[in-house]
Structure 1
Amino acid sequence: MGSDDVLAGLRAFVAVADSGTFSAAGVRLGLSRSAVSKAVSRLEERRNVRLFERSRRQLRLSEAGEALHGYARRALEALAAAEEVLGAGAGAAGGRIRISAPPQLGRLWLMPALFALRARSPGLRFDIEFSTRRSELVAEGVDLALRIGALPDRAEWVARRLGRQPTGLVAAPAYLRVAGVPTGVADLQGHTCLLQSRADGWPWLSQPLPAGDQIALGDSGALLDAVLAGQGIGLLPQWLAAPHLQSGALQPVLPRERPPLLPIQLVWPRGHHLPRRVRTVIDGLAAAMAADPRFAGPG
C-alpha cells in the first residue's frame, strides 16, 4: 500500500467518522460508497486494526479509530494548508464548493452574487442545493449553507452574519378593494392571513393576531404567488416584495407594525483549516450583501 493509498484511506476514514456513514462520506468526497469502504478497509488491513465497529443499525469508531481520528483530521488539514501555500501564487482561488440555500433567496440573490464572484475567480465551481430544510452539513458534504433567522446552538457549526432581512405585511390592491384596508391589528379580523407556517401567527404584532381565516403555505415563493393573486395579506421579505411594491402590484399593509429583523447568515462546519476557495466565497458573499441596501434594515 503506497503513500497515495494511505492518504486516500485517511481521507475516507475521516469523512466516514465525521459524517457517520459510508454513503454520506462518498457524497462528501465525490466517490461511490463502495470506493470509500474499500479505501477504509485497505487502511485497516495495512495496520491489521479495526477502525469502525460495524453492525446493521450502527457504525461507530472503535478504540483505535477514536485514537486515530483527531490525528488524522489535523494531518489532513495541515496538508491542505500546505498545498494552499504552494498554490498561493498560482492565481485566483479555484475548486468546487457545495452550497445549500433557501430557494427564493438562493435564486434571486445568491446565484447572481456567485456568478459575479466566479467572473473574478473563474476557477470556482458551485453545486447549489435549494432547500428549506436544515442540512446536516458534514453528513451531506455541504461546504456552506445560507440561512435566514436564528440558528440552533450547534458546536460543530461556525456562522458569519451577512446582513438582515426586513419584512412587511403586503396585499394586492384588488384584494384590499374587496376586503377593505385594515388600519389596526384588530381590523385583521375577517381578513385572510397568509402565513409561512401554522406556528407563525405573527407574534410581533402590537396585539395578538385575531382568530380568523389563515392559510399556511410553507414557502416564500408560494406565499408571494398567493399574495399577488389577491388571496390575502402576507408577510414578505423586502428583497422579494420590493419590485412588486414599486410596480403597484402590491401595497403595504399596517406599515407601523414592525416585524423583527431576521439575521441572514452563512454557516459552515467547524474545523482548524478553511480551504482558500471557501474563504474566498465567504468573503465575497459578505461584501456583496453588505453593499446591497435591501439587506441593511433600519437602525
Structure 2
Amino acid sequence: MSSVTVTTINRLDNWLMQISPPENTVGFRRFCWEFWFFGLKQARACLFVALFFAAVLLVPRSGIIGLPRYDVLLILALIIQVWMVWSKLETVDELKAICLFHLVGFALEVFKTSGAIQSWSYPDFAYSKVFGVPLFAGFMYAAVGSYIIQSWRLMQQRVAHHPPYWMAVLVAVLIYANFFTHHYIGDYRWYIAAATLGLYARTVVYFTPLDRERSMPLLLGFILVGFFIWLAENISTFMGLWSYPNQLGAWSAVHLGKWSSWSMLVIMTFTIVAQLKYVKQRIDVPR
C-alpha cells in the first residue's frame, strides 16, 4: 500500500483522537455522538482484522492462478503484517507480542487438528500446511492481538485495579493448558473462569470514545470481544475455511459454547499485550 494510504490513516487517527462534539451537546444527542465515534474507533482498530477477513471472503476456494487458497491467504496476511509495521501502525515491540500469540495459536491448532483429537479440520490442500495446519491459521489469533493493541491506542485506554501480573499470567497459562488437558483429565474451564472472575472483579478499563473518559468492567470487555470473534468464526466456517465435525455434511452454526472459549483466549491475548511497556505505564497494579 502506498505512502498516501499511510498518511490518510494517520490523519484519520489524529482526527478520531482529537474530535470534539458541538458545544452544549448533552443527553441523548451526546450519547449518539459518543456511540458513533466509539463505533468508528472500533472499526479502525479492526484494520488488520478487516483486511484479513476481506481476503477470506474474496479469495475463491479454488485459489488464484493455481495457488491454493490457504497459501494465498498466508501471503496476503504476511503482506498486511509487514505493511502495518512499515507504516508504524504497529511497533516492533507490538509485533513481538503478536508473533508470540501467533505461535501460541498455531501450536493449539496443531494439537486440536491432530488425528487423536480432531476438534476441527482444514479440508483443502495447501503447500504451506505444517502438521495438517495451514500457516495462515496463526494470523487469525494474531489478528485478535492486533485489534487489542490498536483499540488501546485509539481509545486512549487505561486500566485501574489490574491484578498482580504473576496472578494474571498464571490464569492465562491455566486457560491455555486447559485447552490441551481437558481431552485427558476433564474440562476445568468454569473453575478457571470463576478464578478469573474473582481476579478481575475490581478491574475497570477507562476509554475515551470522544472527548470524555468512560469506563466499563474489564470482564465485560472480554465477553463482548469473545462474542464478536464467535460471530466471525461462524462466517469463516460457512465459507469453508475450516470445519467442525458436525459441519462436514452440511454447515451448521458454531456451538454457542465456543463463545466462552474465545472469551478465554481474549484474556490470554490481553495478558500478552499487557506486558508491553507502554501499556504497563497506563495500568494501576496493586502493590
Same fold? TM cut 0.5: no
TM-score, normalisation: structure 1:
0.25
Pick the structure with more helix per residue. 2
Q: Radius of gyration: which is bigger?
A: 1
TM-score, normalisation: structure 2:
0.26
Pick the structure with more strand per residue. 1
